[in-house]
Each structure stands twice: as C-alpha cells, then as structure tokens.
Amino acid sequence: MRGVLYLLYGTVCYIVFFLTFLYAIAFVGDFLAPYTVDRGRAAPTAAALAIDLILLGVFAVQHSGMARRGFKRWLTGWLPEPMERSTYVLVSSAALILLYWQWRPLPALVWEVQVPWSVDLLYALSAAGWLLVLTGTFLIDHFDLFGLRQVWLRARGRAYTPLAFKRHLYYRLVRHPLMLGFVVAFWATPRMTAGHLLFAAAATGYILVAVKFLEERDLVAMHGEDYRRYQREVPMLCPWPRPRQAARASGPRPQTQT
C-alpha cells in the first residue's frame, strides 16, 4: 500500500510538471495564456524589474539548491527516498507557477522582425528548441528524470538502480542538449520586449553558471573519469567540432593512463 501511495504521489507530481512545461511554451511564446512574458499585471518599470529579478532568483536558488547532493541527503533523512525526485519536480514546478503568475511585463520594444519568412523561421527555431528539450529527456530516461521510475520501482518492490552513463544522438554533439534547447527557445522570437530580454538573458546566464560550476561538478563526482573524458571530447552547449576530431587532424592523441 505504501508503494502505491508513492506511485500516486509521483504521478501527481509528474502531471503538475508536464502542465507547467506546456505552459512554459505559451509563456515564452506569448500565446494562448492569460499570463505570459509580455502579458500580465502592469507595474512601474522599476517595480516590475525588481519583482521579475526576485522571481528569477527564487527559481534559480530552488532549482540548483535542491539538486545538490547535500540537500538530497538532508531531504531523504526524513522523506522516503523514492519520493525525493518527485518532490524536487513538484517544488520546481511550484516555483515556475509562481513566476508565471507574478511576472510583470516590461513592454518596451527591443526588436521586431516583420519579414514573413524571418518570422516563420524564428518561430520554427523556437519550436525546435522546445522539441530538443522534450526529446532530449527521453534519451537519458524521461521517467527517471522526473521521478516516475523511482516510485514505480518502489511500488513493484524493486530496488532503484542509477542510470548508466551513455551517449545517445544529441549527447554525442553537446553534453547538455536540454539546456541548448532552452536557450534557443528563449531567444528565437520575432518580437523581443524588454521583459522577454530580461527573462532570456537571466535564464541563459543561470544555465551557463549552473551547468558549468554545479551540474558538471556533480556529474564528474558521479561518473568519474568517464565524464572527464566526455568533457574533453564533447562541447558543453555549442556543437562545435569535437576536440577529439581536431586532435586527430593535428596528430596522435596522448595516451591516458588508467
């Protein structure tokens, strides 16, 4: 019965996440939603800027803080371990819902593309970014990433086994295709307002800092030399030619001692 309750909890958390993710597309794209990056509660410029920065900061602190191993150890000291990932997903979704609800638009126009083919191209790039995010989660195990695998295994009475380190499709080109997808989706817009620019710039800055100094450190600690080799061979976000290929062109690679 306890396993069934864990599964129910994880399922509810996943549904909340998925609806929040879908709303993110409408929020950034400014369509089909009452509150978006360009529509919502009006406020004086200084107040809107302060509120928006606080909302972005709340999400950044929550999202990175709860993902750290020390916080996970503290949380699982009183929360059943199979529920840890689902709880992280739920609280992250709540932080995003708060941001959607309380975001204050900054309507000053930064740029607006009016050439029809350019507008279509930017919308297509944005859609490709969101598609990259979603499909990228399935390449590493979508249901483990969002907590369903953990509660499913507990409901079946099976122990959780961490995922093996693998390189699939996008992950052969960049180490963090999900983050690349977010960056593309945030910036590819035919109409950029000051509020949208603030959101895109702050989110991109957060992604770069969090990935470089937090997530990569945790991945090295988890996978060791396998991930260090991956770092040397595959770019972090921009799919430039791999260092391995450049090394082959210039001469033999140095041997790594094991």
Answer yes or no: is pLDDT of 243 > 80: no
Contacts with 77 (C-beta within 8 Å, 6 or more apart), sequence order: none
Chain segment 82-91, per-residue pLDDT in tens:
999 999 999 9
Answer yes or no: is pLDDT of 14 > 50: yes
**251 φ/ψ angles, rounded to the nearest 5 degrees:** 150, 180
pLDDT (mean) for 103-126: 97
For residue 27, what pLDDT band results from cuts at 50, 70 and 90? very high
| Token pair belonging to 81 | 């371990």
For residue 244, what pLDDT band results from cuts at 50, 70 and 90? low
Between CA 169 and CA 29 the distance in angstroms is 27
Between CA 61 and CA 50 the distance in angstroms is 16
| Token pair belonging to 74 | 């503290």
The architecture that CATH gives domain 2-240 is: Up-down Bundle (1.20)
Answer yes or no: is pLDDT of 247 > 50: no
Give the Å distances, CA to CA, from 192 to 37, 107, 150, 223, 257: 10, 9, 40, 40, 50
**76 φ/ψ angles, rounded to the nearest 5 degrees:** -75, 0
